[in-house]
Structure 1
C-alpha cells in the first residue's frame, strides 16, 4: 500500500472499508450506468458467476446489465436469462453468435466492413458495447470468472466516472493476483512478459511518451475497466489476445492522460491460464499477440519501427530484465511467506523470449491489425445498427429474413 501518483491518477486501496451502498446506488441512479459481462456458457457451471450475480443484486441504481453470451442454442440463452431472474435492474442476455446476429453482421459486409469475427472476447466486447451504449452514459466491464468479486469492485471502479467534476473518461483496474488455493503469485503475462518487455523497449527506443503511458498502468492486462459512452463509441476494438493493450492504445489516441485513472481493487483471482506447450497455446499465444500489439502501437503513436537489426538487442535486454523480475518476485514471495516456483518462472521468461523473433516477423508480414470498427463509424454507415443488433441478440430471434436486402432496412425487418 502506498500513495504515489504518476502520469495517470491512481486511486489506492487504503484498506479502510469505506464503502457506502446507499450513496453508491444514488450516484448510479444520477448517471445511467450499464455493466457488461462477456461470457461463455461454461461459466454458468462455475461458482464465480453466481458470486458476481449475487453481489451485483445490491446495485439497485444500475441502469442495465448486458451479458454478451456465446452459446450453442436458444435454450442455453434462455437458461442464462433464468439464471439472472429477479435482479433489481434489467438484464439483457445478448446471444453473440446466434443465427440472427450472424445474419445481421454478415450484411454489414455490404458496406465494406468485416465484423463477423473472429469469435472471442474482443468480438463479444465489441457487440456488448454496441448494445450497452444505447441507453447509458457510463459502461463498466467485468470478466465472468472473477472468484473474489465483491461489492468494492464495481463501487471503486465506477465512482470516478459517476461524478463529472473529476473529469475522468476511462478507468482501468489493477490488483494483487494471488491464487485462492495456494496464495502463489499469478499474472505471469503481466509480471514476466509485459513489464520486462516495456522496460526493454524503453532502452531500445528511449523514453517515448507512449511507452511511459503504458508503463504507468500497474496492471495493463487487467480485463476490468470502465469508460464514458462517448469514448467507448469511438474506440476500435482489437479482436485477439491483444485486446487489453490494444484498448489502452485506443484510449491513448483519444483521451488526455489527465482524464484517465487506475483503481486498486485489492486481492483478485480468476481462472488461471497455463503457459502452453507451444507458441500457439495458452499464455505463449497471448504473449505473442500482445507483443505485436505493443509494436503496432509504437508504429501508430511514435512512428517507431523495430528492425530485425534491433531485435537481438531486445532479446538480450528482455532476458536480463525478465530474470531480474524473477529474482524480485522471489524476494517478494519469500518475505510474504508465499510459495514461489522460481524454476517455473525462469522457464516462462525463456519461453516468452522465444516469441520475440517470430512475433516481429509476423508483424512485418501483416502490420495492419484486424480491429473491429468503432460504433461511431458504424452509425455513420447505418444509424439503426445498434438497435438492430440488440434485437437480433434475443433468444427468440433465430433468423433474419433479408429478401432483396438493403442495409438501411434492417430495423423494419427485425421488427417483423
Structure 2
C-alpha cells in the first residue's frame, strides 16, 4: 500500500502494528457506540453472519447492536433474537417490515411524511439510524454477508470517530475485493462501471467539486461506513441501489471534506451479484440506479446536466476508458498471479455501456428520486417516533 493523501483523508493499512481490541474497548466506554446491520432473515443460515457475531461478541464496551431485520413472520424474528443471545451488550432485533412498524409509519402521512417506501437496504438503514441514535453517539454500518469480517473492521472504522480530537464526522471503507475461493478480482460495478463513468464525465464536462469528491474515494460503492449522530440525523436516505453514492452526496452536502476519512480494510469478500440478462436484473439494474444517483449529485452540487448531444460522446468515452481499465486490471492480475478472464471483463464493459443512453434519457425525464427524509425533519414532526419505532419493531 502507498502512503499518498488526497482530497479525502486516507487511513492506510501499513501492516506494521496490530489492531487492538483492548484499546477499542476503552474508547467505546467513553462514547456510546452502535453497530447497525441491515439484514435479510436468509443470512442467518449462512456462515458469514455467524462469524460476524463471533467477532462482535468480543467488543467489550459496545453500547448496542441494531439488527434491522426483514422477516416474513414472528417466528423468524424469534429465531433471530435467539441467534444473538448472550451477547455482552444490548441487541435490538428490529423487525423492519412488521405490521406494527408499517402501521406506525403510515400514520405519519397526515404530517406529509412518506415513510412507507419499497422495502430494501435504504429503508432498513433509515430505520436502524432512528433506533441507534436514541442512545448512541457513533454509528457504524456493516452488511450481513461479509465473509472476511475480522476485528480490524470495526476497530479501524470506529477509532477515527471515537477520538473526537481527530475532527472526523464520517468514515468510509475501501478494500481489495477478491474471491475467497479463487483470489480473482471482484467488484465489477466499481472497477468497470463507476470508475470509468466518473473518468468519462470528467473528460466530458471537466473538473467540478462534486465530481472530484466522488473520484477521491477509492471504493465509492463500499457499503461499510460510520458517522457521528449529528451527521446521521441530517442525512436523507436513498431507497434504491444508488444508496452508497446517494449517501456520499448527502455527506458532501452536510459536512466539510476535511471531516471525512476513508479507511483501508484490506482484503474483502461478500456475496457476488450476477451481471443479469437484461437492464432490470443483477448488476445491470444496480448500475442503472447508480448512474442516476451520480447524475443527480452532479445536478445538485454542480448545477450541471447532460444534453442529448453529449450522450454519444459519453458512450464512446466510457467504452474506451472501460476497455483501458480492463487491460490495466489484466496486467495487475497477471503480476499478482490472480486469475483473470479478459473476455468476460470486456463483455461486462459492453453491457454496461449499453445502459448509458436509455438510463440517462429516462433519468432526465424524471430526475427527482424518492428519499426518506432525515431524522431531524421527522423528529420535528413527531419527537417520539424513534422510541415508538423501536417498540413497534419488537415482538
SS at match of 1:172: strand
SS at match of 1:30: coil
Backbone CA RMSD of aligned residues: 0.6
Tell me by how many angstroms 1:147 deviates: 0.2
Partner Cα distance (1:379, 1:228) in 2: 17
Per the alignment, residue 399 of structure 1 pairs with none
1:129-144 paired onto structure 2 within 5 Å: 129-144=129-144
Per the alignment, residue 312 of structure 2 pairs with 312
Tell me by how many angstroms 1:109 deviates: 1.2
Per the alignment, residue 74 of structure 1 pairs with 74
Structure 2 length normalisation: TM-score? 0.99
Tell me by how many angstroms 1:63 deviates: 0.4
Q: Greater CA deviation, 305-314 or 234-243?
A: 305-314
SS at match of 1:35: strand
Partner Cα distance (1:270, 1:27) in 2: 29
Partner Cα distance (1:390, 1:15) in 2: 40
Tell me by how many angstroms 1:17 deviates: 4.3
Tell me by how many angstroms 1:299 deviates: 0.6
Per the alignment, residue 260 of structure 1 pairs with 260
Tell me by how many angstroms 1:329 deviates: 0.2
Tell me by how many angstroms 1:16 deviates: 2.4
Partner Cα distance (1:112, 1:351) in 2: 40
1:250 partnered with 2:256: no
Partner Cα distance (1:121, 1:291) in 2: 18
Partner Cα distance (1:383, 1:292) in 2: 33
Per the alignment, residue 323 of structure 1 pairs with 323
Per the alignment, residue 154 of structure 2 pairs with 154
Deviations 1:206-231 (A, max 9, x none): 11011110000000000000000100
1:163-202 paired onto structure 2 within 5 Å: 163-202=163-202
Partner Cα distance (1:21, 1:127) in 2: 29
Tell me by how many angstroms 1:110 deviates: 1.3
Partner Cα distance (2:346, 2:105) in 1: 44
1:224 partnered with 2:224: yes
Deviations 1:120-139 (A, max 9, x none): 00010011101111101100
Tell me by how many angstroms 1:75 deviates: 1.0
1:332 partnered with 2:326: no
Tell me by how many angstroms 1:308 deviates: 1.2
Which 5+ residue runs of structure 1 have no aligned equivalent?
396-416
Partner Cα distance (1:263, 1:329) in 2: 22
SS at match of 2:309: coil
Per the alignment, residue 20 of structure 1 pairs with 20
Partner Cα distance (1:260, 1:75) in 2: 41
Q: Greater CA deviation, 217-226 or 111-120?
A: 111-120
